[in-house]
Amino acid sequence: MIAISALIERWRAGDERAAQTLYDHFWDRTFWLAYGLLGDADDAEEVAQDALYYALANIARFDPNRGSFNTWLHTITVSRSRNKRRGLRPRLVSLRDWLGWGGDVPDSTPGQEKKLVQAEAQSEVWEAVQGLSPRLREAVLLRYWAGHTYREMADIMGCPVPTAQSRVRLAYQNLRTALTSESLADLGDVEERIV
């Protein structure tokens, strides 16, 4: 078995197979983070690909002494998702449009596949997380989903540690308001809504 660090070394030395292995290995989780941040499968796919491309093309900039490859990749993914949200990059033509499925649907509305993906993932928690402001959504995904420390979060989000902490607390408070309005007493049954 080859460790991530060894793959990074091999890719630095120009072994393209190592890059492919890293790409395939980190694809799902990069897509998931971007999807959580953006709430749109097509956008997330584009950001995930872009982030992985950037990470691999700039592998010389990655410094293992400053954090794990995963943290570095998350830093790039968060930054790319912010850009995507601000509309800094032009949309690429999606496969759906190219094949003519729903080609007359404007970009801002979900296409067929996106609807499918999103319908599967619409739990109340998901809805509530998507209802957060972008910065708070970042905080929730990085802490609750990715399990980063506050120090790592501060590096990824580009803010001081206390800010990372207060964003997580505020995000939680907002989620709490959104999720407990129906019934706080019924928490024993939570998984009914989750599963």
Partner 1 sequence: MSNHLSEEQLIGYIHQTLTDAEREEIDQHLAECAKCRAHLDDHESLQRRIQYGLANDLRKASASSHKFFAAIAPRLKRGRRLTTVQIAVERLSVVAALAAIFLLVYGLITHTLPIDQTSIEEPDTTAAMFRGNPRRTGAYDAEVVPGLGEEVWTFTLEKPVLASPTFADGTIYFANMGGNIYALDSQTGQEEWMVSTGVVIFSSPVIGDEGGLYVNAGNWIYILDGRTGERKGEYPAHWTDSSPAVADGVVYMGTNIGYFYALDIESGEVKWKVTTHDSVVSSPAVVDGTVYFGSGDRHLYALDARTGREVWKFETEGRVDSSPAIYGDVVYFGSYDGCLYAVDRETGEKLWCFSTWEGIFSSPAIAGGMVYFGDKGGHFYALDAEDGREMWQVQVKGMISSSPAVANGVVYFGSSAGYLHALDARTGEELWQFEASAGIKSSPIVADGMVYFGSEDGTFYAVR
Q: Give me the 38-57 binding string for partner 1, x by CB under 8 A, dash otherwise.
A: ---xx-xx--xx--xx--xx
Among 4, 79, 131, 135, the residue binding partner 1 under the rule CB under 8 A is 4
Please answer whether residues 62 and 69 qualify as being in contact, where contact means their C-beta atoms are separated by less than 8 angstroms. yes
Which is closer to partner 1, CB of 89 or CB of 169? 169
Residue 180 engages partner 1 in binding (rule: CB under 8 A): yes
Residue 153 engages partner 1 in binding (rule: CB under 8 A): no
**Candidates 20-28, 72-80, 81-89 — which segment interacts with partner 1 by CB under 8 A?**
20-28
Write the Ramachandran bin of 133: left for phi over 0, alpha for psi from -120 to 50, otherwise beta. Answer: beta
Window 57 to 116, contacts with partner 1 (CB under 8 A): 57, 59-61, 68, 70, 95-96, 111, 113-114, 116
Measured CA to CA, the distance from residue 143 to residue 131 in angstroms comes to: 17
Among 124, 135, 159, 163, the residue binding partner 1 under the rule CB under 8 A is 124
Q: How many CA atoms lie within 13 A of 159 on its CB side?
A: 17
If binding means CB under 8 A, how many residues of this protein chain bind partner 1? 81
Burial class (CB in 10 A: 0-12, 13-18, 19+), 119: exposed
Here the contacts of 19-24 (C-beta below 8 Å, separation 24 or greater) are 19/56, 22/56, 23/52, 23/56
| Residue for token pair 């990655």 | 62
Which is closer to partner 1, CB of 82 or CB of 171? 171
Among 91, 158, 160, 176, the residue binding partner 1 under the rule CB under 8 A is 176
Helix ranges (H only) for the chain are 4-12, 16-38, 41-57, 69-86, 95-99, 112-120, 124-130, 134-140, 150-157, 161-180, 190-194
Window 21 to 40, contacts with partner 1 (CB under 8 A): 23-25, 27-28, 31-32, 35-36
Window 133 to 152, contacts with partner 1 (CB under 8 A): 140-141, 143-145, 147, 149-150
Residue 155 engages partner 1 in binding (rule: CB under 8 A): no
